[in-house]
Amino acid sequence: MIQGLLGIISLIYLFLSAQVCVFYMVLSFVLCRYTLGERLYLQMAKFWQESYLVQLVFCLEGCVNIKLRVTGTKPVSEPALVLANHQTHDWVVMYSMAIRTGTLGLVRTVIKKVISYVPGFGWGMWMCYWPFVSRNYNKDVAVLKNLFAAYKRHTLPVQLWLYAEGTRLTPSKLKDSQEYAKSKGYPVWNHVMLPKHRGFTMACDSLKGVVSIIHELTLSYEGWGKPPGLWDIVTTNRSKPHVMHVHMKRTPLEDVPADEEGKKQWLMDCFARKEALLEEYAKNGKFPGPDMTPDFSVGSCLPHLMGWMVATVCTFYAWWYALTTFVL
């Protein structure tokens, strides 16, 4: 009962705080993008994205008590193409990783176009130049190429998350992927689905000059019994350990073959490595290797937290003033 009430309060807070962020991003977009220039506007959008996401991570890790454990390579602050398996609302992992390397403002995810219509969250992503796709490759490839060209044109460093499986893993989708793999003579996996190579190939070619490293991330979740949905996350029981496990491997982009067939095989090998890691996790309850999780500096987050608090207070005061003056 209490966890459910806290979950409802958390969702309301996340929604309202997103509206605050979008309010200031709209002001920046209208006043600055076409007057002071697109590059300066993108720097302002980066600040607002960082400010919103900082308090979001503080809420999840501090209030909800969700922890992060990283093995393999220690995360570093750098632009990258991030390849991860897709189990659930993996944005929680994404932001917890980014806050530790100071890259919250660089995070972008190739995401479904329908999200761009969601008030607050979707509008903010659109104004921060997140890449939206409609699952129609012929349409999406032109949109993504133009967007990646904008990253390069404005020297905007990004950490672009690409979920090459194309959708979240569910038992029915995994079964469909296994049956397709059998029919085509591909490996049959139990923890990941067959990746789609065309988006990966296009990203590798279009992001040259923007990123030079690929981050291979393998994700798993401890404490929920299954990969947690949004409701599971906001109603997490603080008395039990809940850990997001990440195994990281860095690969120079130049090590990926130049031809399309070579890229396809490299991506298959990448997901074969993820399958092996997840099989080991299923047996041992953790990924191999020592804990490499970096701490995040509260001091580096304070400017964003203070800015966010001032913006929130000013916005809610303005709403209250307008309500009492012009409506009541």
CATH at 76: 3.40.1130
Burial of 209 (0-12, 13-18, 19+ CB in 10 A): exposed
In whole angstroms, give the CA distance from residue 112 to residue 244. 24
Q: 57-71 burial, b for 16+ CB within 10 Å, e for fewer?
A: bbbbbeebebebbbb
**Cβ-contact 227, 91 below 8 angstroms:** no
Q: Residue 173 has which token pair?
A: 């989708």
Q: Decide if pLDDT at 134 tops 80.
A: yes
Maximum CA pair distance of the chain? 69
In whole angstroms, give the CA distance from residue 53 to residue 305. 10
In whole angstroms, give the CA distance from residue 152 to residue 38. 13
Give the residue numbers spanning the domain of 35. 2-327
Q: Decide if pLDDT at 32 tops 60.
A: yes
pLDDT score of 49: 85
Catalogue the E-assigned strands of 44-129.
67-72, 80-84, 107-109, 111-112
pLDDT score of 326: 63
**Cβ-contact 199, 86 below 8 angstroms:** no
Burial of 73 (0-12, 13-18, 19+ CB in 10 A): middle
pLDDT score of 69: 94
Q: Residue 284 has which token pair?
A: 């041992």
Residue-wise pLDDT for 83-130, tens only, equals 999 998 888 888 889 988 888 889 999 888 888 888 777 888 888 888
328 band by pLDDT with thresholds 50, 70 and 90? low
Q: Decide if pLDDT at 175 tops 90.
A: yes
The model's pTM is 0.87
pLDDT score of 303: 67
Beta strands 80-84 and 213-222, pairing class: parallel
219: Cβ contacts below 8 Å, ≥ 6 apart: 84, 85, 87, 90, 93, 244, 245, 246
pLDDT score of 183: 95
Q: Residue 289 has which token pair?
A: 């290797």
* Rounded percentage of the chain residues whose pLDDT exceeds 70: 91
Please tell me the total count of domains within the chain.
1
* Mean per-residue pLDDT over the chain, rounded: 85
In whole angstroms, give the CA distance from residue 276 to residue 188. 12
256 band by pLDDT with thresholds 50, 70 and 90? very high
pLDDT score of 5: 76
Residue-wise pLDDT for 283-323, tens only, equals 999 999 999 998 776 666 766 666 667 667 766 666 676 67
Average pLDDT (175-185) is 95
